Amino acid sequence: MKKTLLIALGISLLTFACGTPLSTMRTVKFSPKNDEITTTPSLKQYLANNPNPKIVLRTSSRLNTDNVTEKEQNNYLYNTIESEFLKSGFIVRDRQLFEKIITNTDNNNNYVNLKEKSDTDLIIELTNLDRSIVYQTNKYYDNNGEEKTSSILENRNYYGATIEFKVIMINTNEFAGIYKFNYVPCVNGCEFRPASRPTKRELEETKPYEAVEEDTLIEFVRSATNQLVSEMRK
């Protein structure tokens, strides 16, 4: 009897020392979002006849920022997109040189001139890139896979992202495709344990993070670009 009591006491002390017991492990899941895909028949036909088109990546003015760190990250993402196009057999034109050509009024108003002087077939315009989409839920799954609710989760933010492209055929000045891809966090589940009340020191050391982490964002952009290529060529 004494031995049993000692074992039980030891388990209790171990659980207390480690903090939250293992039984309180919880899992949060979010449902995937459908992507929005529109490809015109003319673009499909063009790519069927021209599998290695000359393209240029343009970025929307609203993606420009004065924040040096964010600007550097954006440039890295643009380079990632262009790299994936190159791997897929596309011929990628220089973005800055294309912008210089298109600022000329004659070229801007005459797509025949623009095509000849830029030697480009398609404009892939990155119209939106949002890395701070908030996902919230009060639902979680316990260790047995049972769905439950908790008010603790109501103030917990998870961050997703979205990226949108528009494709223009220069030769005909046609909007030939619109694409929106989504990154949803915790689709396969994010595990956590309800934490005890944080100390003042923990609060001071915790740095706020209100966007998708860089490595995850880069992988999402790479995957979205490959999916864009696949959808364009279908």
Q: Which tokens in the block code for residue 64? A: 């420009």
- Angle, helices 95-102/111-118, rounded to nearest 10 degrees: 150
Buried b (16+ CB within 10 A) or exposed e, 72-99: ebbeebbebbbebbeebebebbeeeebe
pLDDT digits (tens, 9 = 90+) for 50-109: 999 999 999 976 666 656 566 777 899 999 999 999 999 999 999 998 988 888 756 666
pLDDT score recorded for residue 31: 95
Class of domain 24-233: alpha beta
Q: Delimit the domains of the chain by residue range.
A: 24-233
Average pLDDT, the chain: 82
CA proximity to 216, closest of 137, 159, 165: 159
Q: Which tokens in the block code for residue 90? A: 């596309």
Q: How far apart are CA 222 and CA 209, in angstroms?
A: 22
CA proximity to 228, closest of 124, 112, 127: 124
Lowest mean pLDDT among 114-123, 157-166, 175-184: 114-123
- In the DSSP assignment, the letter for residue 172 is T
pLDDT band for 153, please (50, 70, 90 cuts).
Answer: confident
